[in-house]
Structure formats: C-alpha cells, structure tokens
C-alpha cells in the first residue's frame, strides 16, 4: 500500500466517523437553551451551560423548602433548545426517589410546566401550516397557578406526577433551516419551569431527574 | 515539490481529523436531563396563641398582651397578692401556639425574684404553673398526633395543691405544678409532628394555655418578678 492509498483510507475513515456523528444531528437535536435561573431559594442553586451549543445537563438544588424558607415559592426556569429537519415531538420522563411518608415532598409537590416558545435566530424554520403545540396540562407557568387543596397543601396546574412513562409535552413542524447542525440560530427555545412551595414537609431529602427526549413527531406540514 | 509525497498524506490526515473533530463538536443529542434535589430541615415555631386571660386579680392587669401568630412577649402584672386580695387565686392563662414538621419538645425555664428577705417572701414554689388542654385542630394540622403533658395541668385544680398542714402555707404539690420545678430548662410538653405538608401561611397549629397562678397569702411585703421563658425544639 503506497502513501496516497493509505492517506485516502484514513481520510475515508475519518470522514465516515464525522459523518456518523453528523447524520443524526441533522435530524433531531435537544440542547441547552441558555442559562437556567432560580428565584426564591434559600441555600439553593442551579447550574447548566449558558451556551446553546452544549448538551442539556442541568442540576437544580431547590435548597431548603421547609418553612425556614420564608419565600412563597422557589422557581427554576430552564431554557431548552430544540432543532430538527422534520416534524418532531419532545417527551419527558421522570426518575425519582420514592418517599413513603405522605408528608414528605412528593412528585405532586413540584410544579412543572413549559411555555415561552421562541425562535433562536435567522435559521429557525418558520412554518405557517402547522403550530408548535405545548401539551396539556403542561402548557403553563406553575408559579402563576398555585392553589391550596382541601388538605391545605399547595398544588399546581401540572406537576411531576403528570409525567407518566414517556409523556409528550411538545410537538410541531420542522424547527431548523439547512442541515440543522447545532448552531446558535437554527432552532427554537422553550422554557421548562419547575416550582416548589416551602411547606411543613417531613424532614429529609428528595431527588428527581427529568429526561427530555426529542424524536420524530406527528407528520404535520411546515 | 521535493518531499511532497510524504507531506501530502500528513496534511490530508490533519484536515480529515479536523473535519471529524468539528463534526463531533457539533454533534447533537436527542436527550437532555434536568436533575433536581431539595432539602427539608426540621422546623419548629412558638408563637402567641392569642389574648391572655387574667382572673382573680386585684389591681394589676395585662401590660403587653399576646397577639395570635406573633412572637410571644407578654407582660402581666398580677396585682395584689397579699390577703387584701380575697380571691382564691390570681390566674394568668397565656395561650401558646406551636407548629412543627417534626417531633417537638416544649421546655420552660423560669426565674422568680422577690424583694423580700425572709422565708415568707414569694418564691418559685408559690407560683403555680401548668399546661392546660392541648388542642390540635384545623386544616393542615396533624390531628392524629399525640402529646405528653409533663405538667399536672391547671395548677388551681384541687388535686394539684393544698394547704400545708404544718406551715399553713398553700403549696402547689403536684408534679411540675410550680415554677420551682423549672429553675432549669425542663420539658413541659412533647409530642409528634404538628403540621402536615402545608405552607407557612397556614396559621393553624397546636394550641395550649400556659397557666400561672398565685394564691394570695400573708407573704412578706414587697414586689416579685417572674420571668418564664418557653423554648421549643425538635430533637
């Protein structure tokens, strides 16, 4: 094998690798939509990439949610970017630690909603024949709909208990122009909103993980 | 170009590697995660349960009353405690309100100081004390919770005191029925968690009257100051 043949083989392999990683990227993508924010927390925090070019990996610490936190509500807003060259849907699934004590923080105690769908930039595909749809009951800001149930406990229009299995929260037509490689201007961003009201919960810690997945959606025209 | 046969493959390789790396950098994902955690610490709260009731007094009055759901900082003047007061007892009933998300302990520490100089001055043993009926009621309250009253209840109850046959002095005789039992911080009440998972804006809770009583007697003349400090903890 001479040098040029070897070179061509190496080139082919590397392009193949690049192509493999690029191929699915052209179809469907979910990433950070910018810096997440937290308000009303006592010793709480949220961390995640501010760049829409990075993967979505956000860590939320609601902090103290007993009455030691005198704020009315702890609210976290997580921007999520989505891109596609085809109709899409976004699903959410939940993994959580179960606490058998009904007075401990339950999935019903963490409000969850989505809203504020907006274009990222000039390569966001504008479709006129179909809409991007937030699915009920998630299409709300749960901090704006806090009510008290008959037991005196805070409740929300939608919460983590509404995520059953893999639950669709958003779908719509194509999101991106061109090849839809991950760029700063080629898709849409929406906000995932998580809230919890400080209450007389039973002492302890609670953990939960929401996994957002984008996949091919209903075949709607652009 | 001399030597180009060796240089060309290297350049192509670097270029291809850059293409591959660039593609990887822009590689995309179909999933993303939001991980959450929250902490609930033990919380206890003691507030006034409402207005104080003063009975059997001659003179005196409530200087600083209790205001429901506000910090407890009451001041009461029991008035005349000598025989000029012909009532059986001067009694101040101070409502307390407790709230917690965990098992609680209510402790009392009291000091009694009189201006007298003899054994006939008012002492801590002359100030009866007890906690009345414990009430857990209202939306959001753990009404099935249980409480243990370590006092003997209303100190004016017949069962809780009597005239000492030897000295003739009235004594509060039941267990933890006078302030001498609380010269150091001592448990007066304990129980299971009080509040279910409801916001702090819910104003319900556990209420209990703290009852202080003095029987007018031929005490040494002078003035007496009693300071009772309640503390609630979640051990």
Tell me what ipTM this predicted complex has. 0.89
Residue B4 has pLDDT above 60, yes or no: no
**Integer Cα distance of B27 and A181 in angstroms:** 8
Q: Say what the pLDDT of residue A178 is.
A: 72
Q: Which residues contact B203 (CB under 8 A, 6 or more apart)?
A: B68, B69
For residue A180, give how far its alpha carbon lies from the nearest alpha carbon of chain B (Å): 10
Q: Give a yes or no: residue A137 inside a domain.
A: yes
Q: Give a yes or no: residue A24 inside a domain.
A: no
Q: Give a yes or no: residue A193 inside a domain.
A: yes
Q: Give a yes or no: residue A15 inside a domain.
A: no
For residue B73, give how far its alpha carbon lies from the nearest alpha carbon of chain A (Å): 21
Find the closest chain A residue to B26 by CA distance. A182
Q: Give a yes or no: residue A151 inside a domain.
A: yes
**Integer Cα distance of B77 and B165 in angstroms:** 30
Please tell me which residue, B109 or B27, carries the higher pLDDT value.
Answer: B109
Q: Whole domain around residue A85: which residue ranges?
A: 29-216
The arithmetic mean of pLDDT across residues A150-172, rounded, is 98
A6, A14, A80 member nearest B32 (Cβ): A80
The arithmetic mean of pLDDT across residues A181-188, rounded, is 91
For residue A115, give how far its alpha carbon lies from the nearest alpha carbon of chain B (Å): 16
pTM of the model: 0.86
Residue B13 has pLDDT above 80, yes or no: no
Find the closest chain B residue to A109 by CA distance. B197
**Integer Cα distance of B45 and A98 in angstroms:** 28
The arithmetic mean of pLDDT across residues B149-160, rounded, is 98
Q: Say what the pLDDT of residue A2 is.
A: 52
Residue A149 has pLDDT above 70, yes or no: yes
Q: Say what the pLDDT of residue A1 is.
A: 45
**Integer Cα distance of A100 and A104 in angstroms:** 8
Whether A132 contacts chain B with CB within 8 A: no
Find the closest chain B residue to A10 by CA distance. B13
Q: Give a yes or no: residue A8 inside a domain.
A: no
- Tens of pLDDT, residues B55-100: 999 999 999 999 999 999 999 999 999 999 999 999 999 999 999 9
Neighbour-count burial of B1, counting CB atoms closer than 10 A to its CB (0-12 exposed, 13-18 middle, 19+ buried): exposed
Q: How many domains does chain A have?
A: 1
Q: Whose structure tokens read 């009975």?
A: B55
Q: Give a yes or no: residue A195 inside a domain.
A: yes
**Integer Cα distance of B181 and B202 in angstroms:** 35
Residue B204 has pLDDT above 60, yes or no: yes
Residue A14 has pLDDT above 90, yes or no: no
- Tens of pLDDT, residues A91-135: 999 999 878 999 999 999 999 999 999 999 999 999 999 999 999
Whether A30 contacts chain B with CB within 8 A: yes
Q: Give a yes or no: residue A13 inside a domain.
A: no
The arithmetic mean of pLDDT across residues B224-233, rounded, is 98
């Amino acid at each position: 094998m001479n040098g040029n043949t070897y070179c061509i083989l190496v080139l082919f392999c590397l392009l193949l690798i690049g192509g493999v990683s690029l191929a699915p990227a052209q179809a469907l993508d979910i990433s950070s939509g910018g810096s997440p924010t937290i308000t009303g927390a006592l010793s709480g925090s949220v961390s995640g990439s501010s760049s829409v070019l990075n993967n979505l990996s956000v860590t939320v610490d609601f902090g103290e949610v007993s009455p030691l936190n005198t704020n009315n509500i702890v609210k976290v807003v997580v921007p999520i970017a989505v891109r596609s060259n085809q109709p899409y849907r976004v699903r959410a699934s939940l993994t959580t630690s179960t606490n058998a004590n009904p007075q401990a923080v339950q999935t019903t105690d963490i409000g969850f909603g989505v809203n504020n769908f907006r274009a990222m930039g000039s390569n966001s595909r504008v479709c006129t024949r179909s809409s991007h749809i937030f699915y009920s009951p998630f299409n709300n800001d749960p901090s704006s709909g806090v009510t008290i149930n008959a037991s005196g406990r805070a409740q929300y229009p939608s919460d983590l208990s509404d995520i059953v299995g893999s639950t669709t929260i958003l779908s719509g037509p194509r999101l991106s122009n061109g090849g839809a490689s991950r760029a700063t201007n080629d898709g849409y961003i929406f906000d995932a909103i998580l809230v919890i009201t400080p209450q007389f919960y039973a002492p302890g810690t609670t953990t939960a993980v929401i996994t957002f997945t984008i996949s091919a959606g209903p075949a709607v025209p652009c | 170009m001399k030597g180009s046969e060796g240089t060309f493959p290297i350049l192509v390789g670097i270029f291809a590697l850059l293409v591959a790396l660039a593609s990887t950098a822009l590689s995309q994902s179909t999933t993303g995660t939001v991980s959450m955690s929250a902490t609930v610490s033990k919380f206890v709260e003691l507030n006034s349960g409402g207005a104080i009731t003063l009975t059997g007094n001659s003179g005196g009055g409530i200087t600083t009353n209790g205001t429901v759901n506000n910090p407890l900082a009451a001041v009461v003047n029991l008035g005349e405690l000598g025989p000029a007061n012909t009532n059986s007892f001067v009694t101040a009933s101070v409502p307390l309100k407790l709230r917690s998300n965990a098992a609680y302990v209510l402790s009392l520490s009291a000091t009694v100081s009189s201006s007298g100089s003899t054994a006939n001055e008012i002492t801590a043993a002359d100030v009866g004390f007890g906690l009345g009926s414990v009430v857990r009621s209202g939306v959001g309250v753990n009404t099935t919770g249980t409480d243990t009253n370590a006092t003997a209840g209303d100190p004016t109850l017949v069962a809780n005191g009597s005239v000492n046959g030897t000295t003739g002095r009235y004594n509060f005789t039941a267990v933890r029925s006078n302030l001498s039992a609380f010269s150091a911080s001592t448990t007066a009440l304990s129980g299971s968690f009080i509040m279910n998972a409801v916001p702090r804006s819910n104003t319900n809770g556990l209420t209990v009257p703290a009852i202080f009583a003095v029987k007018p007697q031929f005490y040494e003349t002078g003035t007496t100051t009693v300071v009772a400090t309640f503390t609630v903890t979640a051990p």
